Structure 1
Amino acid sequence: MVADLSKVSKTTLSGYMNGNEWKLGHADRIANACGVSLQWLLFGDSSDGIKSNQDQSIEKPKISNSVSIPQYTGNASAGNGSYVANVDSYAVINIGRDVLPPIVLSRLASLVAVTVRGDSMIPSLYDCDTIFVDTKDCEIITGSVYVLRRDTDLLVKRLSWSVTGDLIVSSDNPLYKPEQISAAKARQLFEDGGFPIAIVGRVIWRMGIMGAR
């Protein structure tokens, strides 16, 4: 049943149940198939809860002072070069709730973290910043920053629509020239499910080193 709904093979499911390392793409599909949050599936954090209806009379568990967020083991390139990343492989970042803004806490179930490498997004993002990406927020809002997947590479760029419907892929550092994708190609990108480029999600928050300004 779960294998059919999630499109993940029974052999792979069995491996996860026996302790194999999760692949983030599989985990997201399994969580949706089972009606639970990604956070709950990977870390057992019941503060996000199971999505299905529950008896409201049951006492809710105490909320932990910290949260665990999946973090890509590769980097998101902010420059001309790309940092090869296995986009299905993740580690875990643990962070206290008290340092996280409400927008992050409200989206824990769909967040992934990734480290920025490069200077093309200065002054918005700096090398070694950790950014938090909402993987459920993939619809382009003009002027917002997104993490993109190109084959096995991760990129971080600002996306905007032109008046003619072209997609502008730009950096905040003026040393890097913007790229323009025609309206037809941009439409094809989404209609083909993002191949060979797909939007991982929108960047909603950054965490950097003190003094990196």
Structure 2
Amino acid sequence: MARSRLRKRPLMDDQLTLLRERGERLRQAAQSIGITHAAKAAGVPYTTLRDYMGGSEMKLSAVASLARVCGVSLDWLAFGVGDAPITTAHVAGSSEAPTRGGHQTVIPWIDDRDEGLRVSKAWLEATVARETTGLRLISVTGDAMTPTLREGDLAMIDTASVTVQGGSVFALRVEGNILICRLERCLGGGIRALADHDRYPPQDLSPDEAQALTLLGEVIWSGGPLVS
């Protein structure tokens, strides 16, 4: 006797309509910060995000992550409940401070490449308890700051905070490259640079070497794929 095969039940027309509408809301939200950036920050493969935007069924965890990084409410993204986000244009290459106004703000990249990251103004003010005009974005490279920061993470730095104290994490420019490490002030005016990965030994900088450091700013937030 032949075994009966389990078949996936076809989606009804109203379900397909809901998925297409959800996909369009997701496209609107992702385009506001850049689709590639949205996929990377939420930990969703680009091809999967593209399928979601095309009307495929979505995992709730992915919807929640995408709503967070895009600066929109989960209710709006998943169900269309509430007001749509208000978007404002951001000119690529502009070195202006984050754009305020409406419900969203744009945080530029440190090197002003491409578009900035568009986030919810309410989320930013709740997350960053400091002046936000000096905020900039950088991409994390290397594994020196693992597990605090991982390769490919998006990090937000405060360019107004360049005073080394208390073992904070800073981004600095060394020979044209951006490095991230934890800095501690030493007696005598020197600085100790530490990696959070235990295979990298600390480096002690003399007062003259510390004075010559080009600090870009303190790392105050990061986001990336969930680590299982």
Q: Which bin holds the TM-score, normalised by the shorter protein?
A: 0.5 to 0.7
Tell me the alpha carbon deviations over residues 134-179 of structure 1, each in whole angstroms, 9 at most, x when there is no partner: 0011111130000001242111111001234321111000111111
- Measure, in 1, the Cα distance between the counterparts of 2:224 and 2:92: 32
Tell me the alpha carbon deviations over residues 10-29 of structure 1, each in whole angstroms, 9 at most, x when there is no partner: xxxxxxxxx8943x3xx5xx
The 3-state SS of whatever aligns with 2:133 is helix
Q: What is residue 177 of structure 1 aligned with on the other side?
A: 201
CA positional deviation for 1:180: 1.1
Q: Aligned residue pairs: how many?
A: 138
Letter of the structure 1 residue corresponding to residue 161 of structure 2: D
Tell me the alpha carbon deviations over residues 41-92 of structure 1, each in whole angstroms, 9 at most, x when there is no partner: xx4x2x4xxxxxxxxxxxxxxxx222210024xxxxxxxxxxxxxx464631
Gaps of 5+ in 1: 1-18, 28-37, 48-63, 73-86, 190-196
Letter of the structure 2 residue corresponding to residue 198 of structure 1: T
TM-score w.r.t. the length of structure 2 is 0.53
CA positional deviation for 1:96: 2.4
Tell me the alpha carbon deviations over residues 112-135 of structure 1, each in whole angstroms, 9 at most, x when there is no partner: 011111211012111121111000
- Measure, in 1, the Cα distance between the counterparts of 2:175 and 2:115: 20
CA RMSD of aligned residues (A): 2.4
Q: What is residue 221 of structure 2 aligned with on the other side?
A: 205
- Measure, in 1, the Cα distance between the counterparts of 2:193 and 2:222: 20
Task: Give the alignment partner of residue 140 of structure 1, picking from 140, 164, 176.
Answer: 164
Task: Give the alignment partner of residue 192 of structure 2, picking from 146, 153, 168.
Answer: 168
Task: Give the alignment partner of residue 115 of structure 2, picking from 70, 80, 91.
Answer: 91
Q: Does structure 1 retain, via aligned residues, the 8 Å contact 2:92–2:113? A: no
Q: What is residue 67 of structure 1 aligned with on the other side?
A: 105
CA separation of 1:97 and 1:21: change in aligned 2, threshold 3 A: closer
- Measure, in 1, the Cα distance between the counterparts of 2:141 and 2:123: 23
Greater per-residue strand proportion: 1
- Misfit runs of 4+, over 3 Å: 19-22, 87-91, 97-101
Q: Does structure 1 retain, via aligned residues, the 8 Å contact 2:93–2:112? A: no
Q: Does structure 1 retain, via aligned residues, the 8 Å contact 2:93–2:114? A: no
Amino-acid identity (%): 25
- Measure, in 1, the Cα distance between the counterparts of 2:205 and 2:148: 23
CA separation of 1:112 and 1:174: change in aligned 2, threshold 3 A: same
Q: Does structure 1 retain, via aligned residues, the 8 Å contact 2:92–2:112? A: no
Q: What is residue 153 of structure 2 aligned with on the other side?
A: 129
The 3-state SS of whatever aligns with 1:202 is strand
Answer yes or no: is 1:118 the counterpart of 2:142. yes
Compare CA radii of gyration and give the structure with the larger one.
2
CA positional deviation for 1:184: 3.2
CA separation of 1:67 and 1:88: change in aligned 2, threshold 3 A: closer
Letter of the structure 1 residue corresponding to residue 154 of structure 2: T
TM-score w.r.t. the length of structure 1 is 0.57
Q: Does structure 2 retain, via aligned residues, the 8 Å contact 1:126–1:212? A: no
Greater per-residue helix proportion: 2
